[in-house]
Structure 1
Amino acid sequence: MKKVKYILNPTFLSKLMMALAIVLTFVAIMVVVTHRGGTIISQHEPAECKTVVVVASGDTLGKILMAQGLNNNDVNTIADILKKDAGISTLRAGSDKIEFVRADEESPVSKIVLVPSPWKQVELTCAENGGWNCNTVDIERDTRAIYKSGEIQNGDSFYLAGIRAGIPAGVLIDVYDLLAFEMDFERDIRAGQHFSVLYEENFSGGEKIDNGRVLAVQFEALRGNVKMYRFKKSDGTSGYYDENGNGAIKSLKRTPINNAKVTSSFSTKRKHPVLGFTRAHKGVDFRASTGTPIPAAGAGRVVARGFNRGHGNYIKIRHNGSYETLYAHMSKFAKGVVVGTAVRQGQTIGYVGSTGLSTGPHLHYEVIKNGTHVNPLTVKLPAISNLGDKDKAKFLEYRKVLDNGMETLSRNPNLFIQM
């Protein structure tokens, strides 16, 4: 079983380090270093001259290089090397920085340093023959697993409760997308429910750079606890699985539009709001503003697109031999989405509207299984990928490691797991 290394949280450590720094500074001031009978105030080699240029709007690589004294031949050579060896062809205004190094203020540029991403540094050094050599350096990454937990309060959405718990917005979006395969966030959220998330934070040189992947999620849902874990299989691919090793990513999403309120549920008998008589409502209606993008609930191929009196503008997608989905009352179709188009899960296929028999803008969403309409919010959906026996055994052991880690961190908020 994998061993877990627990380390004090950097916020807690920083307070200790600050106190220690004050003491050490005082000691350093009091120490006088002598050498050969004299006092050495400082002793160092002449420093290189470094100039850092922040790319501004309208800047080009050539413009920046020539402003630093490089000629046209150097500019063309450097541009070719960066594109070929480092994959850099454009610069980002406001975020990209270029460092120019000289032996002294009067010397020509001898080295150029670019950092195109937090984890990669590109160094160009001037060769003796006047050419340029390129070296790409991977910046050391310090990854830490961070634990956060929270509770749903009256009037909360999951997002608001997560923000209050200190979970970064980007991480919450990833968690939402995972849980959406098992939960209806409009109906399954109640005050008093608890949730917890284990996710990565990436550091370089002690400074946080960004958030990483979600490692584990636990949520006390109405229909039972939902648990999901990220696991790397023996073939090198990674995915999310429930506590029993079943694939957490389903072939279809229950609610195509995130955070959309259910205004009418699946029913065999419902009084139609326009027609006035009772008939089956074969899907679920989600309220949303006109023009809201409608994502495909799953990967598949468009088998119908058109207009009829009831559905208005609609699209039907076949996902495999068993499942089809239908999206109705669209204001318009997405560009390029026609009959025969292959779509991926989450791809925009159209936009919310109120065409056909409709009293206001909403999405009418249907799921058809083997020719029979089923309730999108309760139907058991197939997983995209499940684990084989060998991987499943390893997963169950790894799940115990994550569960134990989350339990330990829940009792010790000043700790994190060193990955």
Structure 2
Amino acid sequence: MLDKRKTNRRRKIPLIRFFIFLSAAVLVMRALKSTQDTETASEASIAPLSRIDKQLEQRIEKPLTEYLSQFTHVVKPGETFYGILSGFEVSLQGANDVYQSLKPLGFPALFPGDSLVINRDSSGVLQKLELLSKCRYRYQVCCSDSSIKAQKCSLAVSTYTCMVNGVLETSLSEHMNQFGVSDAITSKFADIFAWDINFFLDPRKGDRFQILFEKNYAEGKFIGYGDVLAARYVSGRKEFLAFGLKDSEGRIKYYDANGKSVQKQFLKAPLSYSRISSGFTFRRKHPVLGYYRPHLGVDYAAPRGTPVYASADGKVSFSGRKGDFGNLVILTHGGAYETYYGHLHTISSKAGSGLYVKQGDLIGTVGSTGMSTGPHLDYRMKRSGNFVNPASIIMPSNSSVESARKVEFDALKNALSASFELRFPGRTGLHVLEINTPESGEPMVHQVIRTTDGGDDGGKSGT
């Protein structure tokens, strides 16, 4: 009986397995059919690509080619308003319309360092222009099909008082550039001491220099340098100091530690850029003749065409061609002094015989006329009929601080001297001493609206 039951169980097991496999197969078939139906429905719901493109085109308001392009430009020396806009493919008519809209706002001209932001479309039509001027104004021009709106607003300018400390290793200009200071400040520094230091001849390695000056910023952008407040140059045991004091008209003039003007009768050099090729000597081998003969002056080697300036007020006693000098100008300075300017390439029309010139007036340009091996200026000085070394002449100051302002000057001098002595002692480089930030507030805005026919609405202003 027991054996019979075991036999029946063995017969049922294959049948159970068969039904399990059959059920699984049915489930798999149903799943596959469901997936195919879903895929078919999905394919049916996908729109053609052309239909999507059309929908997207309807959503785009303007073609991409009509979108604005924006450019930023910092004005370089010699660039013009029209030239810059032309370089950004703005039409001449468009540039002229913008310029004419700015004129009633007192727009003077572009200056190196001014920044422009230009927006135009692909066809070169100017849509918007913004100008940040070193004159402390922002100009904005918006153009449409029917009118041009121009406005001007004053900028809130922050003034940074900066100081440069340096020790001379190569040249003054190289050190200034290394410190991030432009040639404009270097030239101003040299101009201040132009009556005491010949920067083409006198500087020596190890000389120390310091300068206090202002940098102006508006809306976080550098817009130009302010005044040079004070300057100091130390060479060996010689110390030269200059402190700026503004007169009643706002012009800054410089005085030494004793309150005497740094300006004197003669400039130390009649050039603003060059290098010395031959110092003063009574025995020099002549570069053309090949033998030694006195060279009673100073040769300034410089590129042809470099401006030559009168070293002092005087009268032109000779102007023209003269032997080995080539083109020559001779100035008499009253009393006992004469100055010679030889080998000139050109002579200024303001330096004709019998005319009077002022210190710093252009009298000609560097050349190589006469007996000369290359472009240079032969500068000489006579005193009482005898040639003397121009570098050795020491002249008195032209003026002094007014007695009524002596106390004011002494206080200013002491404050500036303290900055030289106490701020960042022994640390070379560019340092910021003070930041003067104006109070915030809405500036006055002036605007002019011009129609495309060139008229305007008379100009409007508001805050």
Q: Is TM (by shorter chain) over 0.5?
A: yes
SS at match of 2:239: strand
Q: Find the counterpart in structure 1 of residue 106 from structure 2.
A: 86
Does residue 63 (structure 1) correspond to residue 77 (structure 2)? The answer is no
Q: Find the counterpart in structure 2 of residue 185 from structure 1.
A: 199
Q: Distance in 2 between matches of 1:382 and 1:334?
A: 29
Does residue 418 (structure 1) correspond to residue 449 (structure 2)? The answer is no
Percentage of matched positions with identical amino acids: 28
Q: Cα–Cα, structure 1 residues 320 and 241, in superposed 2: closer, same or farther, change >3 Å?
A: farther
Q: Distance in 2 between matches of 1:352 and 1:418?
A: 43
Which structure has greater helix proportion? 2
Contact 1:234 1:391 in 2 (8 A): no
Q: Find the counterpart in structure 2 of residue 228 from structure 1.
A: 242
Q: CA RMSD in A?
A: 4.1
Q: Distance in 2 between matches of 1:189 and 1:167?
A: 19
Bigger-Rg structure (1/2) = 2
* 1:143-154 to 2 correspondences below 5 Å: 143-153=159-169
TM-score, scaled relative to structure 1: 0.67
Q: Distance in 1 between matches of 2:172 and 2:234?
A: 12
Q: Distance in 1 between matches of 2:149 and 2:382?
A: 60
TM-aligned CA deviation for residue 274 of structure 1: 6.6
TM-aligned CA deviation for residue 136 of structure 1: 3.8
TM-aligned CA deviation for residue 145 of structure 1: 1.0
Deviations along 1:36-56, whole A, 9 cap, x unmatched? xxxxxxxxxxxxxx9786562
Q: Cα–Cα, structure 1 residues 51 and 385, in superposed 2: closer, same or farther, change >3 Å?
A: farther
Q: Find the counterpart in structure 2 of residue 309 from structure 1.
A: 323
SS at match of 1:228: strand
Q: Where does the alignment leave 5 or more consecutive residues of structure 1 unmatched? A: 1-49, 66-74, 101-108
* 1:9-408 to 2 correspondences below 5 Å: 56-57=85-86, 59=90, 62-63=93-94, 82-87=102-107, 95-97=115-117, 114-117=131-134, 119-122=136-139, 136-153=152-169, 156-222=170-236, 224-257=238-271, 258-265=273-280, 267=282, 281-319=295-333, 323-334=337-348, 337-358=351-372, 361-369=375-383, 373-408=387-422
SS at match of 2:423: helix
Contact 1:330 1:363 in 2 (8 A): yes
TM-aligned CA deviation for residue 328 of structure 1: 1.1
Q: Cα–Cα, structure 1 residues 118 and 145, in superposed 2: closer, same or farther, change >3 Å?
A: same
Residue type at the aligned position of 2:165: S
TM-aligned CA deviation for residue 147 of structure 1: 1.2
Q: Cα–Cα, structure 1 residues 116 and 98, in superposed 2: closer, same or farther, change >3 Å?
A: farther
Q: Cα–Cα, structure 1 residues 233 and 91, in superposed 2: closer, same or farther, change >3 Å?
A: closer
Q: Cα–Cα, structure 1 residues 238 and 151, in superposed 2: closer, same or farther, change >3 Å?
A: same
Q: Cα–Cα, structure 1 residues 96 and 280, in superposed 2: closer, same or farther, change >3 Å?
A: same
Q: Cα–Cα, structure 1 residues 91 and 52, in superposed 2: closer, same or farther, change >3 Å?
A: farther
Contact 2:134 2:224 in 1 (8 A): no
Q: Find the counterpart in structure 2 of residue 72 from structure 1.
A: none
SS at match of 1:181: coil
Q: Cα–Cα, structure 1 residues 117 and 213, in superposed 2: closer, same or farther, change >3 Å?
A: closer
Q: Distance in 2 between matches of 1:271 and 1:79?
A: 59
Q: Distance in 2 between matches of 1:85 and 1:207?
A: 22
Contact 2:317 2:331 in 1 (8 A): yes
Q: Cα–Cα, structure 1 residues 333 and 52, in superposed 2: closer, same or farther, change >3 Å?
A: same
Q: Distance in 1 between matches of 2:288 and 2:106?
A: 61
Q: Find the counterpart in structure 2 of residue 47 from structure 1.
A: none
SS at match of 1:252: coil
TM-aligned CA deviation for residue 388 of structure 1: 1.7
Q: Distance in 1 between matches of 2:243 and 2:374?
A: 40
Q: Distance in 1 between matches of 2:281 and 2:100?
A: 60
Q: Distance in 2 between matches of 1:141 and 1:86?
A: 19
Aligned residue pairs, count:
343
Q: Where does the alignment leave 5 or more consecutive residues of structure 2 unmatched? A: 1-66, 72-83, 121-126, 437-463
Q: Distance in 1 between matches of 2:129 and 2:291?
A: 75
